[in-house]
C-alpha cells in the first residue's frame, strides 16, 4: 500500500500548479493569452513572453496532455538529475523552443504552451536512458522511438501546432541529455 503522507512539494508540482492556475486565469480573462503568449512580431515589445508563454495553454486538451507529459517525463528526469538541473532543462528547453518559434514560426500568431520544455525533457531522457520504455496506448515503446514518432506527426500532420517550439526544445534536450550522460560517466572513473 502506498504511503501518501510522503508527498513532497517540489519543482515539478510547482510547475504543474502554476500552469493550471494560469490556465484558469486565461479562462476567466481570455485577453491574458495575448499578454502572456509569445507573438514573434511583438516579442521586442513583450520580452517576458519568452518565459510566460510556457504557462499559457490554448484549451483543456492542450493543458491536459502537456501536464500528463510533464508529470511522467518530468518526474523521471527530476529523479535522474535533481531539481536544479530539471528546472534548467525545463526553462532552457522552453526558451530555445521559443527562439525557434520566433525565427521559424508565423509572425502574428501567439505561441503558447509548455511543449518545448516538455520535449526538452523527452530529448534528455532519450539520450540518458534510451532503453526505457514508455507506454503509449498499451504498447511499450522506447523513448527515442516515441519522441521521433511524435515529432514526425507534429511536422507532418498538425499544421496548427507550433512544431518549431517542439523541435527547438527537443534539440536542447538532446544536448542536455548528452551533457548529463557524460557527466554521470565522469563520476565512475
Q: Which three cell numbers stand for residue 62?
A: 492542450
Q: Which three cell numbers stand for residue 120?
A: 526538452
Q: Is 62 a catalytic residue?
A: no
Distance CA 68, CA 33 (A): 22
Distance CA 166, CA 7 (A): 31
Q: Is 52 a catalytic residue?
A: no
Q: Which three cell numbers stand for residue 15?
A: 510547475
**DSSP-derived secondary structure for the chain:** ---GGG----HHHHHHHHHHHHHHHHHH-TTHHHHHSB-GGGTTT-TTHHHHGGG--SSHHHHHHHHHHIIIIIHHHHHHH-HHHHHHHHHHHHHHHHHHHHHHS-TTS-B-SSHHHHHHHHHHHHHH-TT-EEEETTEEEEHHHHHHHHHHHHHHH-TTS-HHHHHHHHHHHHHHHHHHHHHHHHHH-
- Catalytic positions are 115, 166
Amino acid at each position: 500500500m502506498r504511503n501518501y503522507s510522503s508527498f513532497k512539494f517540489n519543482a515539478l508540482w510547482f510547475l504543474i500548479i502554476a500552469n493550471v492556475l494560469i490556465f484558469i486565469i486565461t479562462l476567466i480573462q481570455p485577453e491574458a493569452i495575448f499578454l502572456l503568449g509569445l507573438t514573434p512580431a511583438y516579442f521586442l515589445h513583450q520580452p517576458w513572453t519568452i518565459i510566460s508563454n510556457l504557462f499559457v495553454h490554448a484549451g483543456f486538451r492542450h493543458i491536459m496532455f502537456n501536464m500528463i507529459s510533464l508529470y511522467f517525463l518530468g518526474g523521471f528526469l527530476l529523479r535522474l538529475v535533481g531539481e536544479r538541473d530539471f528546472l534548467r532543462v525545463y526553462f532552457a528547453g522552453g526558451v530555445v523552443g521559443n527562439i525557434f518559434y520566433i525565427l521559424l514560426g508565423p509572425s502574428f500568431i501567439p505561441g503558447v504552451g509548455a511543449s518545448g520544455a516538455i520535449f526538452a525533457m523527452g530529448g534528455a531522457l532519450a539520450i540518458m536512458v534510451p532503453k526505457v520504455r514508455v507506454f503509449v496506448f498499451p504498447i511499450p515503446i522506447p523513448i527515442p522511438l516515441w519522441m521521433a514518432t511524435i515529432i514526425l506527426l507534429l511536422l507532418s500532420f498538425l499544421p496548427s501546432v507550433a512544431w518549431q517550439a517542439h523541435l527547438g526544445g527537443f534539440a536542447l534536450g538532446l544536448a542536455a541529455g548528452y551533457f548529463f550522460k557524460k557527466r554521470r560517466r565522469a563520476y565512475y572513473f
